[in-house]
Structure 1
Amino acid sequence: MIPKTILFSQKQEKLRVAAYCRVSTNHPEQFGSLETQKSYFETMIRENPNWQFVRIYSDVSSALKTKNRPGYRQMILDGKKGLFDFVLVKSLSRFGRDTVETLTQIRKWKQMNIGLYAEMEDIDTMKVNDSALSIFLAMAQEESCSKSENIKFGIRARMRSGKTILNHSQFLGYTKGPDGVLVIVPEEAEIVRKIFDLYLQGNGVRKIKRYLEEHGIKTATGKEVWSTSTIDRMLSNEKYIGQVLMQKTYTPNFLTGKQEKNDGALSMFLVENAHEAIIDKETFEKVQERKMSKQ
């Protein structure tokens, strides 16, 4: 492929060009997409005789919060240092999802004579005014919102069909099997049973925390210090009786990405016999009754 010629600037010297690439998750398919983006832009820059390759900035993160995008933050810092003249990006939505925040950053760069080129929209920020750019960014934000809603629709359709959706990466007592179904980890399951037994013996979460730490029992992530809130959540987690309750939380605003407890705003879906239980239902119900009496 011979990339089209893009005349970013009338400078005579070579343009110092970088690129920014981002995917939302580290799933194998998306990670492959990230590597493809990085290779594509590096090749494009290096093969252009009028450009000087600077570096590829990248992130595996949502575009919602810049604090979760170290590659993005480094790019902004390097821009302030004047280390590049132009940045290539696949699309405006890859650069940022919030219209106001993205426009503010682009304006700062323009004042420093740094441009951004979004390939999918075919936009060179040095050649469009703020009004036109605002329209393009609003369109990109709306497209991101639409994609977000489509993803949510697909997830809820899976929930209605009874297909369990598990987002956890660390879950004491279980691991994910090849088919995504929870599989018991015997030594961890004993810890879970011990926590339930201790609670029914009259111990509160603080005493249980002390017991676990004094006996050198580690958390799911290998930590020696337990959180009382973690223990409390374990005692109410329906997955330990082989059930999965889906959509306990939801995200009202895709721009903030903040999850809220689902207190009836959306339907919840309970899948029974989703996997092998660690705790029997009678024990679980006794624990719930005791927790209710403590409130």
Structure 2
Amino acid sequence: MDDIKLLHKITPGIRLKVAAYARISNDKEELETSLDEQIKHYADFIIANPNWEFIGIYYDDGISGTTISKRHGFNKMLELARNKMIDVILVKSVSRFSRNVVNLLEIVQELRKIGVEMFFEQQNVSSINLASDQMITIYAEFAEAEAVSTSNNVKWRVDKNMREGRYYIPVNQMLGYYYDEDGKLQIKEGEAYIIKTIYRLYLSGLGCAKIANYLKERKIPNKHVYNWSPNGIRGILRNEKYVGDCLLQKTYIEDPLTHKSIRNLGEKDQYLIENGHPAIIDRDSWNEVQEMIDEGAIKYKVRRKTANDGNPTNILSAYANWVICPYCGSNFHHKINHYNGKPANRFLICASNMAGKICEADNYPVDQLNAILAKITGQLKANKTDLKDFLLSKFTSTSYCKLQEKMETLNLRIEDTEKQYRKLYKSDDVLEFNMAFQYKEQLKSLLK
């Protein structure tokens, strides 16, 4: 790396603000340079150059390069670059920076516009050089293809383990279990007592909200300190792992580039391993709790999403996403409290207050809101002409012409981009094929 040649404009007497980015991924099969070695290498290299000002080393450990959102070191570095606090970013290779072609090209173009240079050591390529775009694209596509291949290999291994009944329980995300030094799953007695208490209280007739309050009042901790919620309690009561079973592939990841988890509603095979590990709750108590929850769902008409049912798990409220809290800006949620032998109590509650009183907003009965909406709707119906004139006044001839001009310009851009794409996408030339890829992404963006 001694012969590195940056293309960044040099101002006499002013040192370049230089940072570096390092990343290693846990899904890499072959041995990689350790993160510590990458950090030391770049820190020593930058500090040794008298014309450079060392800004820092930003890194992500064990995070996939196909996404950006979870790479905290990466995002912190980009924020500094956007604020003109970094001039140059040094990276070991294109694959360390990103394994997603679209993300990489977007960032290269964004940083280039504000004068920030990225130098990829392994490829000896600078992002400031416009001629390097095709080279960067090619390397990025190789990196993306490798990420997809690795993901497919991991999926195959996971699926094989599921078919053979091997599984791992995320003990850091749930109460009651831990893995001992030999890797065997064991019951954590202190936490298991909390789980047994929750089941006992539910069997005695307490609802999920009352159980959550019971635990909070006694300051009984969970994995998130004392933040017990009705949904959290319901999740524990429905969790088959506490009876010694494990249902595998409840969710799956369809796209290895987005890593978005999708609830499995029959698209993939599921595997139920019964009595595969020590149980905290006995089978009779577990079955009784499930029957009680199912009976309650039928009684109160709670619909659960299935493979053949497009309904959401919770019925989508007519008030969703448009009643906004004036104090904290959160949405108001439609909540229903059921009391035995009494009519359901329906009201709107600020999302910030769902787990406990945080926001100063009050709860508002749905009946009152319905009465107000009915009154407003009646007034609008009685003044249709005035309403029509008001709406038409907002669409003046000038704004219409401007909108029409924008539409014509957009249509021309779409037509031109589509022509360029069709011209290049069947080409045998690698560079032209990659240019076609860029046109395809532009076309997607224009058609949104």
Q: CA deviation at 1:117?
A: 2.2
Q: Give 1:67 shift.
A: 4.1
Q: Which runs of 5+ in 2 are unaligned?
A: 298-448
Distance 2:140 2:111 in 1: 16
Q: Which amino acid aligns with 1:274?
A: G
Q: Distance in 1 between matches of 2:218 and 2:75?
A: 43
Partner of 1:275: 277
2:22 aligned residue: 21
Q: Which amino acid aligns with 1:92?
A: V
Structure 1 residue 169 and structure 2 residue 172: aligned? yes
Q: Distance in 2 between matches of 1:23 and 1:230?
A: 34
Identity %: 35
SS at match of 1:235: helix
Q: Which runs of 5+ in 1 are unaligned?
A: none
**Once the 2 structures are TM-superposed, how far is the Cα of residue 234 of structure 1 from its aligned partner?**
0.7
- Deviation of 1:24 after TM superposition, in Å, equals 4.6
Aligned residues: 289
- Secondary structure of the 2:232 match is helix
Match of 1:137 among 137, 140, 153: 140
* 1:241 paired residue among 228, 240, 243: 243
Q: Structure 2: how far apart are the matches of 1:10 and 1:257? A: 35
Q: Which of residues 99, 115, 118 in structure 1 aligns to 2:117?
A: 115
Contact 1:165 / 1:246 at 8 angstroms: preserved in 2? no
Structure with the bigger RCO (C-alpha within 8 Å, sep 6+) is 1
- Opposite residue 8 of structure 1, the aligned amino acid is L
Residue 199 of structure 1 deviates from its aligned partner by 1.6
Greater alpha carbon shift after TM alignment, 177-186 vs 121-130: 121-130
Judge conservation of contact 1:20–1:88 (CA < 8 Å) in 2: yes
Shift of 1:55: 1.4
Deviation, structure 1 residue 198: 1.7
Aligned twin of 2:44: 43
Alignment-mate amino acid for residue 87 of structure 1: I
- SS of 2:34's equivalent in the other structure is helix
Question: In structure 1, how many angstroms separate the alpha carbons of the residues matched to 2:217 and 2:229?
Answer: 14
Give TM-score scaled by structure 1 length: 0.85
The reply on whether 1:195 has 2:195 as its aligned counterpart is no
Task: Tell me the C-alpha RMSD between the 2 structures.
Answer: 2.9
AA at the equivalent of 1:156: D
The higher radius of gyration belongs to 2
Q: Which residue of 2 aligns with 1:90?
A: 92
| Shift, 1:106, TM fit | 0.8
Partner of 2:219, secondary structure, is: coil
In 2, are the aligned partners of 1:252 and 1:258 still within 8 Å (CA)?
yes
2:212 and 2:233 in contact (8 A); partners too: yes
Indicate how the Cα distance of structure 1 residues 31 and 168 shifts in structure 2: closer, same or farther if over 3 A, else same: farther
Report the equivalent of 2:7. Answer: 9
Q: Are the equivalent residues in 2 in contact too, given 1:248–1:261 (CA < 8 A)? A: yes
CA distance in 2, matches of 1:270, 1:67: 33
Deviations 1:13-32 (A, max 9, x none): 6654321112456xxxx999
The yes-or-no answer on 1:53 pairing with 2:73 is no
SS at 1:169's partner residue? helix
Distance (Å, rounded) in 1 between the aligned partners of 2:163 and 2:109: 45
Matched, 1:286 2:288: yes
Structure 2: distance between partners of 1:238 and 1:91: 45
Contact 1:17 1:84 in 2 (8 A): yes
Comparing 40-49 and 148-157, the one that deviates more: 40-49
